[in-house]
Amino acid sequence: MNIYIALTDLTWFENLRYIQPLEEVNFWVPGKSISLPQLQPGELLLFKLHSPNNYIVGGGVYAHGNIFPISLAWQAFGLNNGASTYEELRALIERYRGYEPPNRDYEIGCVALTRPFFWPEDRWIDSHGYWKAGSRKYIKYDLSEEVGMKLWNALQIQSSGNLALAPKDETHKARHGKPHLVEPRLGQGSFRMSVADAYGRRCAVTQERVLHVLEAAHIKPYEKSGPHAIGNGVFLRSDIHRLLDSGYVTISPNYRFEVSRRIKEDFDNGKEYQRLHGSRLYLPSRSTDYPSSEFIKWHNENKYKG
């Protein structure tokens, strides 16, 4: 297992540290040539401020990362981008990448971190010995090596009781001699990113690829205890998302798109959707990301109008 240290914008840090607790944050990467850290879900990314503030000041558990248009990053994460408005987010990012026309929806790197933590000054860790002079973006430490374990132990001292650093299983830790991080739970923003990427950024029903009209839909709504999990998600064109939420369409147990007769009865319309009735969904490449039978059954029985 590895721990990463990444250079961190001070304004981003200051904006987020005062709105704790947070479920997740977007640790954005601003550059025109975007290189994302190659973390595995569950690994820890630590925040190291730019010089002269040579300190490790917090961190979070990696959930998902990819490149998205800045407008969609704002829609997904909102204030958890470390900015109070969309315009402020653009201004923060353009301090690094340079001026961009206001109408340009440029791409940024999005690194979704769950269970983020932001330490007060008296808990900051001196980064000397961990951050190498001249490093531009990220440094990786293997916890099987001496320096990595030294860093881990320092984090444990500073974060006693912090769930982001708690091992999954104390027995497992003792048996194998190294720590294991808690698996990340997706928040709303990381759910949207993960579902979009699982479905190849195309609508599961129509194959539409215009990202700005596509949305990650919950099969079982979050307010009904449906989790932010890929298996409870499907990537849909926004109008089809609304119909799923209102029960006019559903997904069958064999991954077919079904349209309720009520759509014709209630609106005397809906031919475009009726033409899609019975079509097979375009599913993720990994079967583990398919819609869960549990949540499909719930939607069939509790939402679908039949």
What was the pLDDT predicted at 118?
93
What was the pLDDT predicted at 201?
98
Considering the four listed CATH numbers 2.30.130.30, 3.30.1490.20, 2.130.10.10, 3.30.70.260, the one that applies to the domain covering 2-176 is 2.30.130.30
Q: Which two tokens stand for residue 300?
A: 């069939």
Q: Are 208 and 241 in contact (CB under 8 A)?
A: no
Q: How confident is the model at residue 255 (pLDDT cuts 50, 70, 90)?
A: very high
Show me where the domains of the chain are located: 2-176, 199-302
**Coil/strand/helix, residue 305:** coil
Amino acid at 42: G
pTM above 0.85, yes or no: yes
Alpha carbon separation from 254 to 220, 241, 263, 296 (Å, rounded)? 17, 19, 22, 10
pLDDT (average), residues 157-184: 52
What was the pLDDT predicted at 178?
53
Percent of the chain with pLDDT over 70: 92
Neighbours of 271 (CB within 10 A): 8
- Lowest-confidence range among 42-51, 153-162, 185-194? 153-162
What was the pLDDT predicted at 163?
40
Amino acid at 111: V
pLDDT (average), residues 216-223: 97
- In tens, the pLDDT along 10-25 reads 999 999 998 878 999 9
Residue 104 has pLDDT above 60, yes or no: yes
User: For the CA atoms of 208, 228, 77, 15, what is the dihedral angle to 10 degrees?
Assistant: -170
pLDDT (average), residues 51-72: 94
Rg of the chain over all Cα atoms, to the nearest angstrom: 22
Q: How confident is the model at residue 148 (pLDDT cuts 50, 70, 90)?
A: confident
Q: Who wins on pLDDT, 139 or 181? A: 139
pLDDT (average), residues 20-49: 87
Mean pLDDT of the residues in the chain? 89
Residue 172 has pLDDT above 60, yes or no: no
- Distance in angstroms between the alpha carbons of the first and the last residue of the chain: 49
pLDDT (average), residues 67-76: 96
* Beta pairing partners, 290: none
Neighbours of 238 (CB within 10 A): 14
